[in-house]
């Protein structure tokens, strides 16, 4: 049995697309099921999803937009100096670029500034605002930040510098005292769509300020939308669709330069943004000053863009190396806290690079499905600073907001946050967050889950159906790529692949469907050909040498039946299980226990162990039966280590025993050192067999032995050879070896299942 890592929640829609709509729109059965699972059942909504539609809400409905426009125009008319104050992530640099270019087109005297993540942190900064004032700036416009900058904004306003906040992050208990706040979630306004990203808000402000918005603004707004993981529905979906079209029809010079450095020349999709463009723009601000990324996006020279993109690529490679090192350390720390029962993982260490801690937090969440906060301890600055990532059941903004008395500064939303705090408060915050989680767990299940769109038949997995599914793109937050479940798929072949054998490749079912399970190569040791599994995952088209084949990208795997895995071959080992706390090892009674998860044959193994390794060969089959019959098991690994085998030597016959005894009587005294091999030759047996027979005679009192000299006992009692304990032990050992070491594996599995009470 393999337990799934997630609870699989198959979506059972309550409303369905009518047959008339399905026929009119020529919906294939699989597309119909997917749309129904996403509650898209009305004809207009279906057409909008399949064909795209220009959802462009009226910018005038945004909070304080008229006030902001009036103040910006006033600044332009009076030739005031304007500063666009951005942020250091992909959303921040794209929103900065959009607004700076907008103001330049209007003839404004505009500059821009992106705070340094390490020296200034996220959001408004008093020193930066003071410097702007000293340089004659009279209007600051924040993009992708500002909603939490109460003190800094008040300071600027008190100096006579007006601050217009454009932001999309969660609004706290109070609003900053800014000149204007342009925010889709402003509580006093009713903008039709609440989930724009920073670049989306900047794009809407550009629409309000310009008669003709440049097409490449759509591309940058799409990059910010995908990279910031905001909801890919409604207006955001339209922004991304239009932005992708722009990038594929006439790719902006800076974006093309980035893709050239990544050696990417295929169609640009949401995945291109999510896995290639976004991470590279983010990498600069994670390691150094993000101004480089903004300079790249603002460039219109191919040579300059290529030069800047090359530097960005360097930062991206460096970022990968740093992330790998910190992740390894953080995973070890997380494992310790998980073993202690922590439900919120606060991991803190000195000399962790602050810029990549959000990525590391995401990897910890992927591994343990627990909300995670990763902090760098900086004793020189006397603070801890880092990033948090959450799970669906826990609002990171809410949980950190409930402990803001321990936090100097933080900002974020439901799934992510960044923060700074005093080092002395780290332990108190860890305790507080876990207490909060303990209370939440009383009313809310924290079990990780996956929402499954459609249960597929193997026959549904065709190139045509996969191409139909791709018509639903772009996929993203709140409009995920369809997750499918397929059941009872027989494994035809499997192997671990990759440099470190950390990925799993399989072929499945009658169609020999190729399947890949990234970062799960360990399953190659837990599965076997011919077994049937249930899987959830996504469908892709794999292209090789001009041929297209369906491919299943696995996200989780489960097996309902108990597994018995054959590891009797010396070429196999179970080292991969040594550090697994859910594994019990059954050992020989003569071996000293060295760990708490080691048990002798016959002992009851606690239910928390769902994997059992029968490491040593038992003395008798009854010992093994006893263990099997009183233990609940989902996976059995058969190893059966042993120093020597006697099965092929067999049991000497009774007539051979008699012949040997007669030979000893005739000699009256036998010196084993000088005459043992002669006796073996006479009886036509090996030395081990002779030694065994002599031990049986000695046990029964038929002979005496003194320093290798054998003599016949003067008055031996009459006993059958079969009454010897050594004789019976050898019979048992031969029986054990025959079944456990040398029998056909299928027959052995059947015998084990019988002991466990299975009917077949």
pLDDT digits (tens, 9 = 90+) for 381-404: 899 999 999 999 999 999 999 999
| Beta-bridge partners for 7 | 449
Of the candidates 477, 472, 474, 512, the residue with the CA atom closest to the CA atom of residue 492: 512
Of the options 3.40.50.300, 3.30.420.10, 3.10.310.30, 3.40.1190.20, the CATH number for the domain spanning 341-447: 3.10.310.30
Could you please state the CATH topology (level 3) that the domain comprising 647-723 is classified under. Answer: Arc Repressor Mutant, subunit A (1.10.10)
Length reported for the chain: 760
Residue pLDDT, tens place only, 4-41: 889 999 998 989 999 999 999 999 999 999 999 999 99
172 or 292: which carries more pLDDT confidence?
292
Tell me the pLDDT band of 760, cut-offs 50, 70 and 90.
Answer: low
Mean pLDDT of 433-451: 93
Residue 580 has pLDDT above 80, yes or no: no
CB atoms within 10 A of CB 338: 15
- DSSP-H helix ranges across 113-189: 126-134, 150-159
- In degrees and rounded to multiples of 5, residue 122 shows phi and psi of -80, 140
Give Cα separations from 83 to 13, 70, 96, 158, 249 (angstroms).
50, 16, 10, 17, 33
**Least confident stretch, 206-210, 343-347, 624-628:** 624-628
> Model confidence over 716-725: pLDDT tens digits?
899 999 999 9
- The residues near 481 (Cβ < 8 Å, ≥ 6 apart) are 475, 538
What CATH number is given for 451-558 in this structure? 2.40.50.460
**DSSP character string of 374-396:** EEEEETTTTEEEEEEE--TTS-H
Task: Enumerate the H helices of 535-671 as residue ranges.
Answer: 621-629, 654-667
pLDDT for 281 beyond 70: yes
> Residue 112's Cα: distance from chain center in Å?
38
Q: What is the longest distance spanned by two Cα atoms in the chain?
A: 129
The domain limits of the chain are 59-314, 341-447, 451-558, 563-643+739-756, 647-723
* CATH code for residues 59-314: 3.90.1640.30
Would the CATH topology of 59-314 be identical to that of 451-558?
Answer: no
| Model confidence pTM above 0.85 | no
DSSP string, 700-760: HTSEEEETTEEEE-SS-----GGG-HHHHHHHHHHHHHHHHTSS-HHHHHHHHHHHTT---
Strand order through the sheet with 81-85: 109-113, 81-85, 137-143, 162-166, 180-182
């Amino acid at each position: 049995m393999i337990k799934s890592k997630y609870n699989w929640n198959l979506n059972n829609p309550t409303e369905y697309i009518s047959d008339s709509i399905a026929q009119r729109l020529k919906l294939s059965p699989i597309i119909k099921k997917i749309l129904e699972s996403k509650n898209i059942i009305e004809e207009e909504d279906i057409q909008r999803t399949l064909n795209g539609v220009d959802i462009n809400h009226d910018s005038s409905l945004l909070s304080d937009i008229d006030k902001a426009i009036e103040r910006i125009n006033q600044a332009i008319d009076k030739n005031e100096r304007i500063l666009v104050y951005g942020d250091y992530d992909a959303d921040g640099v794209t929103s900065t670029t959009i607004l700076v270019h907008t103001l330049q087109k209007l003839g404004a005297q505009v500059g821009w500034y992106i705070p340094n993540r390490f020296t200034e942190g996220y959001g408004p900064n008093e020193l930066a605002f003071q410097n702007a004032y000293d340089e004659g700036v009279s209007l600051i416009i924040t993009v992708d930040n500002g909603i939490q900058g109460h003190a800094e904004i008040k300071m600027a306003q008190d100096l006579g510098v007006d601050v217009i906040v454009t932001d999309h992050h969660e609004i706290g208990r109070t609003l900053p005292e800014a000149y204007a706040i342009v925010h889709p979630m402003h509580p006093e306004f009713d903008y039709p769509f609440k989930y724009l990203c920073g670049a989306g808000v900047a794009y809407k402000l550009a629409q309000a300020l310009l008669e003709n918005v440049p097409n490449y603004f759509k591309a940058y707004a799409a990059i910010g939308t995908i990279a910031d993981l905001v909801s890919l529905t409604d207006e955001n979906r339209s922004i991304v669709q239009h932005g992708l079209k722009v990038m594929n029809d006439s790719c902006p010079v800076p974006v093309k330069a980035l893709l050239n450095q990544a050696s990417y020349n295929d169609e640009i999709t949401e995945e291109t943004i999510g896995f290639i463009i976004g991470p590279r723009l983010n990498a600069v601000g994670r390691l150094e000053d993000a101004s480089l990324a903004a300079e790249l996006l603002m460039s219109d020279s191919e040579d300059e863009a290529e030069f800047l993109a090359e530097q960005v690529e360097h930062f991206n490679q460096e970022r990968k190396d740093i992330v790998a090192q910190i992740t390894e350390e953080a995973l070890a720390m997380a494992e310790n806290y998980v073993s202690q029962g922590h439900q919120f993982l606060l991991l803190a260490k000195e000399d962790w690079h602050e810029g990549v801690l959000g990525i590391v937090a995401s990897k910890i969440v992927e591994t343990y499905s627990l909300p995670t906060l990763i902090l760098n301890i900086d004793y020189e600055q006397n603070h801890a600073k880092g990033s948090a990532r959450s799970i669906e059941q826990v609002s990171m903004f809410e949980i950190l907001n409930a402990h803001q008395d321990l936090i100097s500064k933080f900002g974020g939303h439901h799934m992510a946050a960044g923060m700074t705090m005093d080092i002395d408060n780290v332990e108190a915050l860890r305790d507080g967050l876990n207490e909060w989680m303990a209370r939440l767990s009383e009313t809310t299940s924290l079990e990780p889950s996956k929402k499954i769109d459609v249960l597929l038949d193997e026959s549904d997995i065709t190139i045509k159906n996969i191409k139909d599914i791709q018509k639903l793109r772009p996929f993203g937050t709140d409009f995920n790529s369809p997750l499918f479940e397929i059941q009872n798929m027989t494994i035809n072949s499997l192997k671990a692949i990759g440099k470190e054998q950390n990925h799993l490749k399989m072929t499945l079912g009658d169609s020999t469907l190729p399947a890949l399970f990234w970062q799960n190569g360990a399953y190659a040791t837990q599965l076997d050909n011919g077994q049937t599994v249930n899987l959830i995952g996504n469908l892709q088209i794999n292209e090789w040498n001009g041929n297209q084949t369906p491919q299943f990208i696995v996200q989780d795997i489960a097996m309902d039946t108990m597994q018995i895995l054959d590891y009797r071959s010396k070429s196999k080992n179970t080292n991969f299980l040594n550090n697994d706390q859910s594994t019990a090892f059954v050992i020989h009674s003569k071996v000293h226990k060295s760990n708490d998860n080691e048990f002798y044959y016959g002992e009851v193994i606690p239910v928390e162990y769902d994997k059992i390794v029968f490491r040593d060969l038992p003395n008798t089959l009854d010992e093994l039966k006893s263990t099997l019959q009183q233990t609940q098991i989902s996976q059995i690994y058969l190893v059966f280590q042993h120093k020597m085998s006697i099965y092929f030597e067999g049991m000497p016959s009774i007539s051979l025993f008699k012949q040997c005894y007669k030979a000893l009587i005739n000699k009256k005294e036998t010196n084993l050192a000088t005459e043992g091999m002669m006796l073996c030759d006479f009886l036509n047996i090996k030395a081990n067999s002779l030694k065994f027979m002599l031990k049986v005679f000695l046990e029964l009192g038929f002979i005496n032995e003194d320093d290798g000299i054998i003599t016949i006992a003067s008055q031996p009692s009459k006993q059958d050879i079969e009454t010897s304990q050594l004789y019976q032990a050898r019979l048992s050992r031969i029986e054990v070896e025959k079944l456990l070491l040398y029998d056909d594996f299928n027959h052995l599995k059947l015998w084990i299942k019988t002991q466990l009470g299975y009917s077949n």
